[in-house]
Homo-oligomer: A and B are copies of this chain.
Amino acid sequence: MRNEAIEGGAAGSATNGRLDLAVLDQLYHKARTHNAFLDKEVPDALLKEAVELTVQGPTAANTLPFRVVFVRSAEAKERLKPTLSEGNLAKTMAAPVTAIVAYDRKFYDHLPRLFPHADAKAWFTGSEAFANATAQTNGTLQAGYFILALRALGLDAGPMAGFDNAKVDAEFFPDGQFKSNILVNIGYGDHEKLFPRSPRFAPEEVATIL
């Protein structure tokens, strides 16, 4: 390890500085996965803004395969109910909003507009397996951007893998074009109902510098 201080890149260059510790805390260090939410409404405008932030993030060839359905109404929640695992059922039915994060297997139809400087559509139409892998990887990267966007807007998130993807797809995406990826409960978290934070790796355990 070099002994240089941790620093941003602001001085005189066109680069950005390091964000304040309070921001890093809100996004990373003190942010928590929430299972219980306060009885406080989540404005539609905030959900839309979270999506607007999400689509700014980088994806391979600007493929942007992320799609999302926000399940808010009682009727829509009832449609989601039979797809949930036992452990996720009560908390998801009680959450103000549940996002079904999905990806579009036919994302390449939009590439003439999203990536106009090359015939990027042709890179994907020849191989369904390559197209699907691209949709899944980039849609999941965008799911990461989305979770942090919710936190950046002052919301709390409870992402979940415990649900029946095939049932969700049959109920919400019956034509097969979109595939569900993760669910995310959204609201203003009840901090009194948090579990203790689980341990994390030290950087040295998962990173190497060559």
Interface residues of A (CB under 8 A from B): 1-2, 4-10, 13-19, 23-24, 26-29, 31, 33, 38, 40-41, 43-49, 51-53, 55-58, 60, 62, 64, 66-73, 75-76, 110, 113-116, 134, 136-137, 140-145, 147-149, 151-157, 159-162, 181-182, 188-192, 198-204, 206-210
Contacts and interface: CB of A to CB of B under 8 A. Distances in A.
Nearest to A162: B60
- Describe A's contact surface by its main secondary structure: mixed
Contacts of A55: 200-201, 203, 206
Give this chain's copy count: 2
A46 B207 CA distance: 12
A146 to B, nearest CB: 8
28 contacts: A1-B45, A1-B48, A5-B43, A6-B43, A6-B153, A14-B191, A14-B192, A18-B153, A18-B154, A19-B154, A23-B152, A24-B53, A27-B152, A28-B53, A29-B56, A51-B206, A52-B202, A55-B201, A57-B144, A66-B206, A69-B210, A110-B201, A114-B198, A114-B199, A137-B161, A141-B141, A141-B182, A144-B147
